[in-house]
Structures are given as C-alpha cells and as structure tokens.
Structure 1
Amino acid sequence: MDYTVETSQLKQKLLKSIYSLQVKSLTTLQSASPLLHNQRGMGMVTQHQVHQLADKAKSLCGDLDNIKNLLHYCQDNLVRQIPNPTGSRYGGVSGIHCSLDGSIYVTAESAPWVHVLSSTGYTLQALPCQQTGKGGSIFLPEDVTVTRMGMVAVADMVNEAIWIFNPHTRLSKKEWIKIRKVGSPRGIGIDSTGKILVADYAQGQVHSLALDHAFRTISVQSVPNLQGPRYISPAPRGGFVVSEECGDVKVFMSSHKLLSSLSSKYGHQFGNPAGVCVDTDGSILVADEQRRTVHLFPEHGAPICLVSTGLQRPAGMACSSSGHLFVADTVENCVKVFKYCVRPPYRPTNAGASLGASPTLGADPKQT
C-alpha cells in the first residue's frame, strides 16, 4: 500500500469532499423540508432549477457509486495458478464451479473427468465420467455445477445429455445418471430455487428443470430466441444470467422474462462473452474470450475491468465469498485465481454517525 505524503493528501481530500457533500445535503434537507411542507407553493424555486438539481444529484450519486466501487475492487491481482489436474493429455480447462465450502469443481476439454480441488489446487477427489455396468461408455463433461443436495451435475454436449452423479446410491460403486436429453448443452448452473439451468447452444435456449426423488425431470421450462448461449449463472434476485456467443449477456427474472442486457444497460461492448458468475454483493462478472478480460457489472455504478492482462482464452468462471475469482484459461491449461475484492475492516451500521466532526486520517497507516 502506498503511504506517501501525496497519497495521504489525496485520501484526505477525498474524505473531506464526501463529508462536505454529506453535511451540506443534510443541512439543506433539514431546512427545506419544513418550508416545503408549511407553504403552499415552491417559493422562488423554478421548475428548471428543480430539474437541474435532480440531474446533478443523479450524476453525483453515480460518481460516488463509482468511487466506492473503485475503492472496493482491485485489478490484475493474480494470486495463484492451478494446473489442469488432468495434465496435458487432454484439452485445456473449460468448466468451473465454486462451492460454498470453498472447493472447486473443474472440467477440461475432451477429458472424461470431474476433478474436485481445494481452493489452493489440491486434488480432493476425481470423478470418472463413465456409465456404470460392464462396458459402460465414457462421456465428456462440458461444464459442471453442484445441486443443493450436493450432487454433481454436468452438461455433455457430445451425447446431448445432462448427467447427475449420485453419491447416495446403495451400490458399492457410485453412479452417474442420465437425467435428460438436450439438443446441445454447453453451460449448466443451479438457480436460487434449486432448479437446474442448462444453456442449449445450438437450439438457442435456456432450459430450467427440477428433479423428483427418482431423478425424473419435472417443471421443465424453456427460454427461446437466444444467440448461441454459452455459460449460465443464477441472477442476484432469482432468474439467471446467460452469455451469448454473438456478443451480449442477458439477465432474466425468476419468471423467465428478460430483465436487461448488459450491453444496453451499461453501454458496454463485448467481444465474445464466455464465463459468467454473480458474487455475494449481487455484481455480475463476465469473461470476454475475444478481449481476454474480465469485467464486473455492479448494481450501481459503471463497469469495472477486474482483469486486463494475463488471460489467453478465458472460458468458465466462478467467484467465492472470500473475494476470489477463478478463471479457466483454456490456452494456458490452468485455473487462474485473482483476488478482486478488497474487504473493508468494518461496515458502519449508522451512516450518519460521523456527522459530528470532519473525517481525518490518523498517523497509523492501517487507518488509511
């Protein structure tokens, strides 16, 4: 961290600017509110002045959101690289899922395995993708997720199928169960209600389905008219986020109605969107295969480039609650782990508690 005099002065100036806005707005509010309630008109305030102030306030609120976000996140902070657990025999890593306990699930191109790794890359388990029974054929998982019941689910593009690994079978050998035929399953995820989400690439659809206790699919719904859907992730408040190969990322509500496209909402131009994920703050993260970048799209504020260098061909992506981002780099055949989120030491419970005095930076550098 930079503790130079110039940096300290900039920090002081920033805090004082925000504090001045806070004090002035509160003072004006305390003065204006009773006047507006106790008189019939607007005094000498014109309609133009009201609209002008509203526009300035909106712009200023956007600036403050951007400042907050830029302080909260960091760029190009690569902390480790996890080699493809299958080695160089098969293609590069492609699909990745991060579970709540911190373990990550990885698939690779043309590799009949799902590897379960610790957050540091240690192999915890290797699941061979092979049908049970004598002479059972192998299959190649394209992407991976984990259900609410802790069962691994994969998309198998070659066999046009979705598979579930059932760890609770009575058989001595655990088994994979084919639950549904899908035209061209590429990405897979789990929504906030526990339903399986499948990006059907060739058909241009996203399928949502639930499973009963016998692993039969129920409540199947489809969202059509997508342009090459690739990867999928649950949305911040239900629904899902899906990347399209032809250059956009779309957000759907839990009702499966289109909420927005990121290119339109943020004015952002994608190359080839690939992996998508949503973090604990509700921000959407998107890997761009063509531009070799990762951008974060916050609920409030402008997009932020989290990774601007060091990626060759980003594919699947996942983020953890600890502020780490896992990106599958197919060309370099590894998972790259970035620390993208700077957690503050505390979160104040009362935003107006500090109005009594102007903020200052103490001598202790930890306070800066």
Structure 2
Amino acid sequence: MLDSYYLQDLDEEEKAMHEFNKDWKLSGIQRLFYNSLVKQLGGFGSEAGKFIWPTGVTNTLEGDLAIKDTGNQQIQIFSLDGYHKQTFSYGSESTKHLGDVACTQEGLFLVSDGSKGIKVFSKEGEMIHLLKSSKADWKHSYGLSVLKSNRIAVTDWTDGGKIHIVGVDWRMNAILKTNVIDGLQRPEHVAVTEDEDLLVTEGQLFGRNAGCCVKIIDSERALKKTIGPTYGDHYSFMNPSGICVDTSGNFFVADKGKNNVTLFSRDSSLSELVVTQDLEGPSGITVTKNGLLVVTDCYHHCVKMYKYRQEFIY
C-alpha cells in the first residue's frame, strides 16, 4: 500500500501500523499517503516570506493561507502555490507561543495573543477593533475557531482551562453574548465540525500523561468523548496542539511533543499517523481547499504542505 522504498525502512510491526485500512474508504479516502511533502514555505528570518516561530495557520476567504508568526509578531499571507502576498503586524505578544489566527465569514482576520481581547483586522491588514468586554473576559486567550453561526470559540487557560463561545455583532464589532465551557485542562487549539461539535486539544501539564488528549464537545456543549492519552493499538499523545477538520469530517491532530500528525476518521474509530518525519514543534494546522494538509513547523521556521489522500488536486 505504501511505496516500497518507504517500507524497506520499517520493521514488521511498523509495516502493520501503516497498512491501509479499507474502512478508510467510508471516510472518503481511497488511499493514505505518509510523509508526502509537496511544498515548504518560509525559512528563518524577519524579512517578508520568512518566519521565526510560525504557530498558527488558517484559510482566508480567497483561499490563501494566513500564517501567524509569533516570533516576528506578524500575519503573513501566502497563495497555495507558495507566493508571498502580504505581511502585517498584529502588535506585541503578551505570552510567548500563545495565540492563533482565524478568518470570519466576511474575510476579517481574528488574532489572539494571550491577552484579554481578540484583535480584528481588515483584509488589508488594518486593525479595526479589539473585541473585549468585562462580561467576556478571557485572561489567557489561545486557540481560535469560527463557527458556522459566525460566533467565535476561544480557548482560555484561566482557572485551569475553559472555552468561551462568543457571539458578535460584526456590523458594530460588539460582543453580544458569551457562553463558557469550564472544566478543561490547558486547552490549546480548537476546531469545529460540520455539526458544530468542538474538537479541543489539551496539552501536557505535569508529567507525561497529564492532559495529553483531544476532547469532543457536542453542540449542546456537553463532553461527548475523550481521545487519549493513548488511542489505537500503537499510538499515544504527548503534547497535542493543532487540530483541524477536512471536508469529509476526518480530523487531524498535531503533537508537538512527538513531532507528528495523526489523522482520525469522522467518528474517531480509525487513526493513522500521516506525518512522522522532519517536524519539530508542529503547532497550527489546516486543510486547504485543494486538499493539502498544512503544518506550521515552529522550530524549523517554516510551513509545510503535505498530500495525505489520493484525491488531492494540485
């Protein structure tokens, strides 16, 4: 199922781990590809098109990639063929490596930076508002995701961890209502499924297996399922970070402790490692409109794009 040159480097147990499971076809995947790097963006530096600590990534309304570089405190826009189109600064970072970038249905950029507000930028990179309210006080904002209703999910490390679901009047740039989900442990990134379930990664706390899981929270905001610290027959999380969902409802989890990316089927009954090589501190991840997996490789100062399924269009 894998290319023979790759199988030659695996022992028998590892081969069994990577053999294609035909049940994946039910998740819209005909064949899985492993470590299939298509394109790499960036490299170390402060000039346009370079990164120091790329930690977040999202798709723009136009289908480009918006990448949050915590080291340079910038958002950089790239086309899917790797052309650098735009750079703008989002200001100082309150806490190193905290924060994310997301895009609203109107194409506005949202940036969290570990502080008590979310910065809103126009498509041109001009800051137009700071979303902040005494009734919606996320003291240590981290991950961002936009729901179908155009509300925002914000992870927060306050009091152990919580998620804020924030309703916004986008004409007035005003917070209307906030619902809070408590009881989490250092939630990092968050993604939203088609059914508006929330997928939340909990990173490593104290000791190898404290946190180290993905929590699925249903549309009624009740805990539906916990995945990890161990999952499947061969795998376990060490420090899960970025998470995203593809068009078939399958989802990916980047682990910055194990430096890999795992693909899960929609109901999480199947799991496969799809990136296991040449990552150091993978953080933000997304899937492009043409079916590529995008990973911010923080400590290699770059962003990598992978093919993971046969149907990808390039």
Q: Distance in 1 between matches of 2:2 and 2:224?
A: 41
1:127, 1:265 → 2: CA distance? 40
Aligned partner of 2:142: which letter?
A: R
The verdict on how the C-alpha distance between 1:264 and 1:193 changes in structure 2, with shifts beyond 3 A counting, is farther
- Aligned residue for 1:227? 185
**C-alpha separation between the residues in 2 aligned to 1:122 and 1:111?**
19
Ranges in structure 1 where 5+ consecutive residues have no aligned partner: 5-62, 131-137, 346-368
What's the counterpart of residue 190 of structure 1?
146
CA contact (8 A) 1:311 1:329 kept: yes
Aligned residue among 36, 54, 58 for 1:77 = 36
The C-alpha deviation readout for 1:277-319, integer Å capped at 9, x for no partner, is 0000100100011111100100254201110111111011111
Do the aligned residues in 1 keep the contact of 2:41 with 2:82 (CA within 8 Å)?
yes
Q: Does 1:312 align with 2:280?
A: yes
Change (3 A) 1:65 1:85: same
Deviations 1:145-164 (A, max 9, x none): 0011111001021x332111
For residues 30-70 of structure 1, what are the alpha-carbon distances to aligned partners after superposition, in whole Å with 9 as ceiling and x for unaligned? Answer: xxxxxxxxxxxxxxxxxxxxxxxxxxxxxxxxx64147667
Pairs within 5 Å for 1:1-368: 64-66=22-24, 71-83=30-42, 87=46, 91-99=52-60, 101-130=62-91, 138=92, 142-157=99-114, 159-166=115-122, 174-180=126-132, 181-203=137-159, 204-212=161-169, 213-245=171-203, 246-263=211-228, 266-267=231-232, 269-299=236-266, 301-343=269-311
**Cα 1:311/1:139, change in 2 over 3 Å:** closer
Distance between the aligned counterparts of 2:153 and 2:24, measured in 1? 32
**SS in structure 1 at match of 2:299:** coil
C-alpha contact 2:155 2:162 (8 A) present in aligned 1? yes
Query: 256-265 or 335-344, which moves further after superposition?
Result: 256-265
Relative to 1, partners in 2 of residues 1:150 and 1:78: Cα closer, same or farther, differing over 3 Å? same
- 2:127 maps to a residue whose letter is E
Please report how far the alpha carbon of residue 190 of structure 1 lies from its aligned counterpart in structure 2 after TM superposition: 0.5
Going from structure 1 to structure 2, the CA distance change for 1:3 and 1:74 (only over 3 Å counts) comes to closer
Determine helix, strand or coil for the equivalent of 1:82: strand
Aligned residues: 276
* Partner residue in 2 for 1:39: none
Task: Indicate the SS of the match to 1:77.
Answer: strand
Q: Are the counterparts in 2 of residues 191 and 240 from structure 1 also a CA contact under 8 Å?
A: no
Determine helix, strand or coil for the equivalent of 2:228. helix
CA contact (8 A) 1:323 1:342 kept: no
What is the aligned-residue RMSD (CA, Å)? Answer: 3.0
TM-superposed CA distance for 1:262, in Å, is 2.2
The structure whose residues are more often helix, as a share, is 1
Segment of structure 1 superposing worse, 288-297 or 141-150 = 141-150
**Which piece of structure 1 moves more, 115-124 or 83-92?**
83-92
Q: Show CA shifts across 1:152-188 (max 9, x none).
A: 001021x3321111459xxxx9333111242101111
Q: Is the contact made by 1:129 and 1:176 (CA closer than 8 Å) also made in structure 2?
A: no
* Unpaired stretches in structure 2, ≥5 consecutive residues: 5-20, 204-210
Tell me the alpha carbon deviations over residues 197-226 of structure 1, each in whole angstroms, 9 at most, x when there is no partner: 111024401111121121111121111111
Give the partner amino acid of 1:187.
G
Partner of 1:364: none
C-alpha distance in 1, partners of 2:123/2:61?
18
User: Structure 1 vs Structure 2: percent identity of aligned residues?
Assistant: 24
Kept after mapping to 2: 8 A contact 1:151/1:166: yes
> Which letter does structure 2 place at the counterpart of 1:149?
E
TM-superposition CA deviations, 1:63-102 (whole Å, max 9, x none): 6414766742211100111015863897311111123533
Counterpart CA distance in 1 for 2:123 and 2:276 is: 40
